[in-house]
C-alpha cells in the first residue's frame, strides 16, 4: 500500500516521496483518512510508530486552504517537552518543503518571550507548544486560542507523569468547542481515559504497537552493585568498558540531579559523554542531543522525562543506572535500542532490596526474568574512589588504559568467554502485549545481597575465584 490512497495533497505526497518513505506505517494508514475527514482521533501509539507524520501530513494538507490571523493560531500541537516540540517542528520543515507560505511557531520554555511574541504577531498556521509557556502567553494577552481549528495532544501519558493534566484541561477549555482533536498516548491510565472522554467527540480509536523487531533483538541483563553512588558509578564504568559492540549508549537515571553528578563523574573518568536533563537550558539540551545524534559523543546520561520520545536511531547500549520506578519506563528506555532489527543490549544496575522489588515489577510486566551478569560487572578492576579533579593532560587518578575521548570498545581478551554472561538474553515483549499476558511468577535469582548497606563495601565486592 502506498501513501497515494490516503487523500493527502500533491504537495505533501511529493515531500513524502522526497524523504524516501514508500509505505505508510499502520498508524499513518489508519489515522490519516480520518484526520482528513475531520474526525477526532484517539491514537494509542508510542514513539517509533510514525505517529508524528500521522498528524503532520494531514495537517499540512488541510492547511493549504485558509490564512492565519495575528495572535490567533489555526492549529495547536501540545508536547510535554521542549525536545519533542522541536522534533515536531522539524517534521513540519521536512514534510512542508513545498508549503512556502506556512508559518510554524515553537512556543517553549527556556527561550526569549519576545521572539515568540513577534512570531505570534505575524500569524501562525501551526503552533507547537509546551503547556506552561503557552498558558503564559495566553495570560499576558499575547495569544488567543479562539481561532484553533485543530488541537493535537501528543504523548498524553507523559503529560500526566509530568503533572500537566490540569494545564491540558485549561487549554482544552480555551480552544473552541467545535475544534477537531487528535489525541496520542502510549498507554491508557484512568486519568487519561477520563480526559479523552471529556474532550474528544466520538473519536476514531486507532491502536498500534511498535513493530516487534524494535525490541525483540535487545539482550537484557541485570548487574549487581553496592547501593552507594560511588559503587554504582564504579559498576557502570566497568560495564561500559567491557561492553561488546559498543557504538553508543544512553544511561538513564531516575533523578535529574543524579544525571548531573554521573555526567561529571564520567567526564572526570575520561568518557565521551553528554547529559540531558530538565534543568539544563534549552540551548545546552539541544547541543547535547545534536552531539549524540551525530556520534560526536558516545554516551548520553539522561532522565526519563528529558529523553522521552526522542528520535535517536540505532543506539547499541542502554544502561539503567537506576532501576526505573515505573515498570513502563523500563520498556520505553530499552525500546531505544534494538531498533529496526539491529541487535542491542540493555543492562540494569540492581543495588539493594528496593531495586529488587522494582525489577520484579518489570519482570512481571514483560512476562519474563532478566538474567544477572555477575561476572562481567563483578571483579573490581580499579579503586572505588572518584578522581577529585578535572584531568589536565594526564588525569592523576585514572587507572591505566582509561578511555579518553570515547567509551572503549569491547576488550576481547583470552578469558573473554569467562566474562560473558552464560544465560540467554531475555528479549523484550511489546508493552501492551506484556500487560495482557499473565506473567509467570519470576524465578528470582537470589538477591541475598539485597539490603546490605550495613556491611562494609569491600565485603560486598565479589572475589574472582581461580579455577
Ligand atoms: P515517530 O513515531 O513519529 O517518532 O517516527 C519514528 C521514525 O519513523 C522517524 O524517524 C520518522 O522519520 C520515521 N518514519 C515516519 N513515517 C515513516 C514511514 N512511512 N516509513 C518509514 N519511516 C517513517
- Mean per-residue pLDDT pooled into runs of 10, the chain (467 residues): 94 96 92 97 87 97 94 97 93 96 93 92 96 95 96 94 93 96 91 94 86 60 94 96 91 93 97 90 85 93 76 83 87 74 85 91 82 60 41 33 38 37 44 39 35 36 39
Please identify, by atom number, the ligand 1 atom nearest to the C-alpha of residue 94: 12
- Ligand 1 centroid to Cα of residue 104, in Å, is 20
The preferred substitution site among 6, 50, 93, 307 for testing ligand 1, maximizing ligand atoms within 8 Å of CB, is: 50
193 in the same domain as 136: yes
Ligand 1, atom 20, lies closest to the CA of 21
197 in the same domain as 226: no
Is 461 a member of any domain?
no
- Ligand 1 centroid to Cα of residue 18, in Å, is 14
Please identify, by atom number, the ligand 1 atom nearest to the C-alpha of residue 87: 4
Cell 479562539 sits at which residue? Answer: 146
Ligand 1, atom 16, lies closest to the CA of 50
C-beta separation of 219 from 346 below 8 A: yes
Please identify, by atom number, the ligand 1 atom nearest to the C-alpha of residue 49: 2
pLDDT for position 286: 83
Please identify, by atom number, the ligand 1 atom nearest to the C-alpha of residue 48: 2
What is the rounded distance in angstroms from the CA atom of residue 237 to the CA atom of residue 231?
A: 10
What is the rounded distance in angstroms from the CA atom of residue 146 to the CA atom of residue 175?
A: 5
What are phi and psi for residue 202, nearest 5 degrees? 45, 55
62 in the same domain as 153: yes
Sign of CA dihedral 78, 79, 85, 90: negative
C-beta separation of 272 from 299 below 8 A: yes
Counts for the chain of helices (H) and strands (E), in that order: 20, 13
Q: Which residues have C-beta atoms less than 6 Å from ligand 1?
A: 21, 23-25, 28, 47-53, 311
- Ligand 1 centroid to Cα of residue 31, in Å, is 14
Kindly give the residue spans of alpha helices, DSSP state H, lying in 177-255: 190-199, 213-216, 229-241
CB 262: neighbour CB atoms within 10 A? Answer: 23
Ligand 1, atom 1, lies closest to the CA of 50
**Strand extents, DSSP E, 339-424:** 344-350
Name the residue among 47, 3, 9 with its Cα closest to residue 23: 3
What is the rounded distance in angstroms from the CA atom of residue 136 to the CA atom of residue 152?
A: 19
Is 200 a member of any domain?
yes
What is the rounded distance in angstroms from the CA atom of residue 160 to the CA atom of residue 163?
A: 5
188 in the same domain as 39: yes
Cell 511529493 sits at which residue? Answer: 14
pLDDT for position 315: 87
Please identify, by atom number, the ligand 1 atom nearest to the C-alpha of residue 23: 19
pLDDT for position 340: 55
pLDDT for position 463: 40
Q: How many domains does the chain have?
A: 2
134 in the same domain as 7: yes
- Ligand 1 centroid to Cα of residue 72, in Å, is 30
- Ligand 1 centroid to Cα of residue 91, in Å, is 10
CB 5: neighbour CB atoms within 10 A? Answer: 11
C-beta separation of 445 from 372 below 8 A: yes
Ligand 1, atom 8, lies closest to the CA of 50
268 in the same domain as 240: yes
Strands 344-350 and 317-320, by their bridges, are parallel
- Ligand 1 centroid to Cα of residue 51, in Å, is 7
159 in the same domain as 65: yes
Bridge partners, 301 (sequence order)? 251, 275
pLDDT for position 346: 93
pLDDT for position 342: 63
What is the rounded distance in angstroms from the CA atom of residue 334 to the CA atom of residue 338?
A: 8
Please identify, by atom number, the ligand 1 atom nearest to the C-alpha of residue 3: 19
Is 404 a member of any domain?
no
Write down the pTM of the prediction: 0.60
Please identify, by atom number, the ligand 1 atom nearest to the C-alpha of residue 16: 19
What are phi and psi for residue 152, nearest 5 degrees? -110, 125
247 in the same domain as 195: no
222 in the same domain as 167: no
What is the rounded distance in angstroms from the CA atom of residue 284 to the CA atom of residue 82?
A: 12
Bridge partners, 61 (sequence order)? none
Give the neighbor-by-neighbor strand order of the sheet with 344-350. 218-224, 344-350, 317-320, 249-253, 299-303, 273-276
- Ligand 1 centroid to Cα of residue 88, in Å, is 12
Is 68 a member of any domain?
yes
Count CA atoms closer than 13 A to 190's CA, side-chain side. 0
- Ligand 1 centroid to Cα of residue 165, in Å, is 27
Count CA atoms closer than 13 A to 333's CA, side-chain side. 33
Is 341 a member of any domain?
yes
What is the rounded distance in angstroms from the CA atom of residue 332 to the CA atom of residue 400?
A: 36
307 in the same domain as 181: no
C-beta separation of 149 from 75 below 8 A: yes
Residue 333: which domain range? 218-366
189 in the same domain as 40: yes
Last residue of a domain, one of 207, 230, 262: 207
Is 298 a member of any domain?
yes
pLDDT for position 429: 39
What is the rounded distance in angstroms from the CA atom of residue 449 to the CA atom of residue 460?
A: 8
* 365 SS3 class: helix
Last residue of a domain, one of 172, 207, 242: 207
Is 153 a member of any domain?
yes
- Ligand 1 centroid to Cα of residue 435, in Å, is 25
pLDDT for position 229: 93
187 in the same domain as 265: no
CATH number of domain containing 149: 3.40.50.300
The preferred substitution site among 6, 25, 184 for testing ligand 1, maximizing ligand atoms within 8 Å of CB, is: 25
Amino acid at each position: 500500500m502506498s501513501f497515494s490512497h490516503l487523500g493527502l495533497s500533491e504537495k505533501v505526497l511529493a515531500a513524502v516521496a522526497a524523504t524516501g518513505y514508500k509505505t505508510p506505517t499502520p498508524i499513518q494508514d489508519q489515522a490519516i483518512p480520518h484526520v482528513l475527514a475531520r474526525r477526532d482521533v484517539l491514537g494509542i501509539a508510542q514513539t517509533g510508530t510514525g505517529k508524528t507524520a500521522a498528524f503532520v501530513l494531514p495537517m499540512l494538507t488541510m492547511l493549504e486552504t485558509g490564512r492565519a490571523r495575528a495572535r490567533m493560531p489555526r492549529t495547536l500541537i501540545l508536547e510535554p517537552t521542549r525536545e519533542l516540540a522541536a522534533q515536531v517542528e522539524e517534521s513540519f520543515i521536512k514534510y512542508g518543503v513545498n508549503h512556502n507560505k506556512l508559518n510554524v511557531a515553537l512556543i517553549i520554555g527556556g527561550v526569549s518571550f519576545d521572539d515568540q511574541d513577534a512570531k505570534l504577531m505575524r500569524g501562525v498556521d501551526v503552533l507547537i507548544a509546551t503547556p506552561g509557556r503557552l498558558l503564559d502567553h495566553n495570560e499576558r494577552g499575547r495569544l488567543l486560542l479562539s481561532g484553533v481549528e485543530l488541537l493535537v495532544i501528543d504523548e498524553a501519558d507523559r503529560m500526566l507523569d509530568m503533572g500537566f493534566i490540569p494545564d491540558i484541561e485549561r487549554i482544552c477549555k480555551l480552544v473552541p468547542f467545535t475544534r477537531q482533536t487528535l489525541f496520542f498516548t502510549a498507554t491508557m491510565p484512568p486519568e487519561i481515559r477520563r480526559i479523552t472522554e471529556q474532550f474528544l467527540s466520538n473519536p476514531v480509536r486507532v491502536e498500534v504497537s511498535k513493530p516487534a523487531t524494535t525490541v525483540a533483538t535487545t539482550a537484557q541483563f541485570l548487574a549487581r552493585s553496592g547501593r552507594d553512588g560511588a559503587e554504582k558509578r564504579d559498576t557502570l564504568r566497568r560495564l561500559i568498558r567491557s561492553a561488546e559492540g559498543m557504538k553508543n549508549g544512553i544511561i538513564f537515571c531516575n533523578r535529574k540531579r543524579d544525571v548531573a553528578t554521573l555526567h561529571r563523574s564520567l567526564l572526570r573518568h575520561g568518557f565521551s559523554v553528554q547529559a540531558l536533563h530538565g534543568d539544563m537550558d534549552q540551548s545546552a539540551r539541544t547541543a547535547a542531543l545534536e552531539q549524540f545524534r551525530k556520534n560526536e559523543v558516545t554516551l548520553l546520561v539522561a532522565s526519563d522525562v528529558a529523553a522521552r520520545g526522542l528520535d535517536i536511531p540505532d543506539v547499541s547500549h542502554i544502561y539503567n543506572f537506576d532501576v526505573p520506578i515505573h515498570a513502563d519506563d523500563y520498556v520505553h528506555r530499552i525500546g531505544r535500542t534494538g531498533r529496526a532489527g539491529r541487535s542491542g543490549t540493555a543492562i540494569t544496575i540492581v543495588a539493594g532490596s528496593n531495586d529488587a522489588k522494582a525489577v520484579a515489577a518489570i519482570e512481571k510486566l514483560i512476562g519474563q526474568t532478566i538474567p544477572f551478569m555477575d561476572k562481567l560487572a563483578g571483579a573490581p578492576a580499579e579503586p572505588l574512589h572518584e578522581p577529585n579533579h578535572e584531568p589536565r593532560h594526564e588525569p592523576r587518578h585514572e587507572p591505566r588504559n582509561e578511555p579518553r575521548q570515547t567509551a572503549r570498545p569491547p576488550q576481547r581478551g583470552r578469558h573473554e568467554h569467562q566474562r560473558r554472561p552464560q544465560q540467554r538474553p531475555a528479549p523484550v515483549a511489546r508493552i501492551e502485549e506484556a500487560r495482557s499476558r499473565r506473567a509467570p511468577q519470576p524465578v528470582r535469582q537470589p538477591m541475598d545481597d539485597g539490603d546490605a548497606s550495613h556491611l562494609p563495601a569491600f565485603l560486598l565486592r565479589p572475589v574472582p575465584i581461580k579455577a
